[in-house]
Chains A and B, each alone.
Chain A
Amino acid sequence: MTKVDPRLESTHWQPGPAGLPRALHGIHPDRALSLAEHRDLHGPMALMRADDLIAVTGQAGLHGHGGAGFPTATKLQAVAAGRRSPVVVANGSEGEPASSKDEVLLTRTPHLVLDGLVLAATALRAREAIVAIERTRPHALEAVAVAVAERAAAGDDPIAIRIVPVPGRYVAGEESALVHLINGGDAKPTAVPPRPFERGVGGRPTLIQNVETLAHLALIGRHGPEWFRSIGTTEEPGSALLSFGGAVSRPSVFEVALGTRFESIVAAAGGESEPVSAYLLGGYFGTWVRREDLWGRHLTKNDLAPLGASLGAGVIVALPKAVCGLVETARVMQYLAEETAGQCGPCVHGLASVSDRVNAIARTQTTPKMRDDLDRWSAMIERRGACKLPDGAVRFLRSALVAFADEITEHQHGRCQATHREPLLPIPHAGRDWGWR
């Protein structure tokens, strides 16, 4: 008979930090917390049985922070229900160019993420625990390698952790692409079903969670669901990391309670540094929203849904009035078109066609027919890829057509009011990792 780890039997909750930050609690501005520092700050790691972990995660109401906002307990349950012993993957790919919250977690508090990974992996009696990190983020790779070595030396994890470097492509962090990469293939999405939770790494049921989700899971394991729900709203409890960029005084990664008023979030980023016309919410899969439509709203699904927006993976960018939203949209559309995995016709040809038109509009070389093409092609592209790249690109495009409707009319008359010609949104180019493995 195997000995039961005594840590699996304890279910008393340790007191947690009263307010914010939680995941970023006690971090050092320019280096990672060591294992010893981490344990001093957060207390010993929690381990649990699968049933307990699923129940506690469900009571906490934890949702994924990788973009889709899926309930974590449901995923844990699905993987636990598989027959074979599963694999757990911490998704730290962070392919979204405007996002840096995963990198902040991995470089400042890697052990919190690894605690969450080990908690999930031991509860599910996993065969393997993997951390996937983009090769274009060498600091994160380095910090996690050091952290994994520290843990191996300390010897108190019941499972070993493997690091998998991921090529720097937007779609490489999509879950089926990650599975394909780990299984020895290209980091390109595969046709689903089967979904990774049914058949993933090595054919095993595979749990894939964003690294921030695992950090919150590690805290729930220590402090319990009530503590988790003590901030945020009833429907959306807890906190989230934001990568706030653009025209604010302190562009940075910080943690907010879900449901916070939008104005307070802008204030936390130092306030607007110049007049702002719109905000990008949720990154390059996200939505442009006019500033006046966001004011007075809270960071909740209910408040954002009428705008067609959601927090996604936590990216917010303030677009200055002086920068042309159509030019920024064209730059992103071209990037997304180039980031196709080249597998699905509507994605390859559709995104290229759309990108052409948006480029023409941005350069004020436009006709009303071009605007109609965009509507028709958007409908034609949607839901027709193996992965959600085309859908994300279409959501982004449609939001631009609404938010920048006045600007489109101006451009149709050959005029553009923007004065800055410096590009705003980050687009990876220099030293870009073009490979797929």
Chain B
Amino acid sequence: MSERLRLDPIRCDAHGVCAELFPEGISLDDWGYPILRAGPIPADLLEHARRAVFACPALALKLVDDR
């Protein structure tokens, strides 16, 4: 089962740590808010994605099953 990131845009406060920890899957827009790459996360990058999820001070990122 593959996983993907889901962002709660209401919780997100543009801290930007996620994009630092997981640049392969997350970039920032012109105002510093994360843009998630679409689709499932490749297995070899999952560890980075998890780290981004745990580091978000706003608890705005989640890993969910890619359905």
Q: Which of A's residues lie within 8 Å of B, judged by CB? A: 189-191, 343-347, 349-350, 353, 377, 380, 384-386
Contact = CB atoms under 8 A, between A and B. Distances in A.
A198 to B, nearest CB: 15
Most chain A Cβ neighbours within 10 Å, of B14, B30, B32: B30
A347 B29 CA distance: 12
Nearest to B7: A384
B55 interface: no
B31 A343 contact: no
Contacts of A349: 30-31, 33
Interface in B44-60: none
Contacts of A191: 8-11
Give the contact-size bracket for chain B.
Answer: 10 to 19
B8 A345 contact: no
A344 B10 contact: yes
Given A380-B35, A386-B9, A345 B30 contact: no
B12 interface: yes
Contact of B33 (A189, A377, A384): A384
17 contacts: A191-B8, A191-B9, A191-B11, A343-B10, A344-B12, A345-B14, A345-B33, A346-B29, A346-B31, A349-B30, A349-B33, A353-B31, A377-B30, A384-B29, A384-B33, A386-B8, A386-B10
B28 to A, nearest CB: 10
B35 A384 contact: yes
Nearest to A344: B9
Contacts of B10: 189-191, 343-344, 386
A257 B46 CA distance: 53
Contacts of A345: 9, 12-14, 29, 31-33
- Which 8 A-B pairs rank lowest in CB-CB distance, beginning with the nearest? A345-B33, A349-B31, A344-B9, A343-B10, A191-B8, A386-B10, A380-B29, A386-B9
A190 B10 CA distance: 8
Most chain B Cβ neighbours within 10 Å, of A191, A347, A353: A191
Contacts of A346: 9, 29, 31, 33
Nearest to A341: B10
A380 B30 contact: yes
A353 B30 contact: yes
Given A345-B12, A345-B13, A345-B14, 5 more contacts: A343-B9, A344-B12, A380-B30, A380-B35, A384-B35
Contacts of B32: 345
A372 to B, nearest CB: 13
Nearest to B30: A380
Nearest to B9: A344
A344 B11 CA distance: 8
A343 B8 CA distance: 10
Contacts of A386: 8-10
Nearest to B11: A191
B4 to A, nearest CB: 14
Nearest to B33: A345
B26 to A, nearest CB: 13
